[in-house]
Amino acid sequence: MCRLFGFRSVIQSQVHRSLIDADNALAVQSSAHPDGWGVAYYVDGAPHLTKSASTALHDTLFRRVSGIVASETVVAHIRKATVGQNSVLNTHPFQYGRWVFAHNGDIPEFERCRSKLHAEIAPRLRRFILGTTDSEVIFYLFLSRLQRHGPLSQKRVLDEVFEAMDETIALVRDVCDGPDAPSDALLNLLVTDGQCIAAYQGGKELYYSTHKRRCSERDVCPYYKPECETHSDSGLVSHLLISSEPLQGENVWQEMGQGDMVGCDWRMKMHRRPAATTA
Cα separation, 246 vs 47, in Å, equals: 25
Partners of 14 in the β-ladder: 70
Can you give the pLDDT at residue 249?
78
For residue 133, what is the DSSP state?
-
Can you give the pLDDT at residue 16?
46
Cα separation, 278 vs 137, in Å, equals: 22
Partners of 198 in the β-ladder: 191, 263
pLDDT digits (tens, 9 = 90+) for 25-82: 554 555 454 567 888 999 999 999 988 876 555 566 666 676 667 789 999 888 655 6
Cα separation, 19 vs 38, in Å, equals: 11
For residue 234, what is the DSSP state?
S
Q: Name which of 55, 161, 139 is nearest 94 in CA terms.
A: 139
Measured CA distances, 81 to 53, 105, 151, 248 (Å): 11, 10, 32, 26
Is 219 a residue whose pLDDT tops 50? Answer: yes
Q: Which band of pLDDT confidence, cut at 50, 70 and 90, is reported for residue 24?
A: very low
Which fold, 3-277?
Glutamine Phosphoribosylpyrophosphate, subunit 1, domain 1 (3.60.20)
pLDDT digits (tens, 9 = 90+) for 135-186: 999 999 999 999 999 999 999 999 999 999 999 999 999 999 988 888 899 9
Q: Which helix (H) or strand (E) holds 90?
A: none
Q: Do residues 92 and 3 make contact, with C-beta atoms less than 8 angstroms apart?
A: no
Q: Which helix (H) or strand (E) holds 104?
A: strand 99-104
Exposure string for 124-137, b = 16+ CB within 10 A, e = fewer: ebeeebebbbbbbb
Cα separation, 167 vs 149, in Å, equals: 13
pLDDT digits (tens, 9 = 90+) for 229-258: 677 877 899 899 999 988 877 889 999 999
Sequence spans of domains, the chain: 3-277
Can you give the pLDDT at residue 257?
96
Cα separation, 77 vs 104, in Å, equals: 9
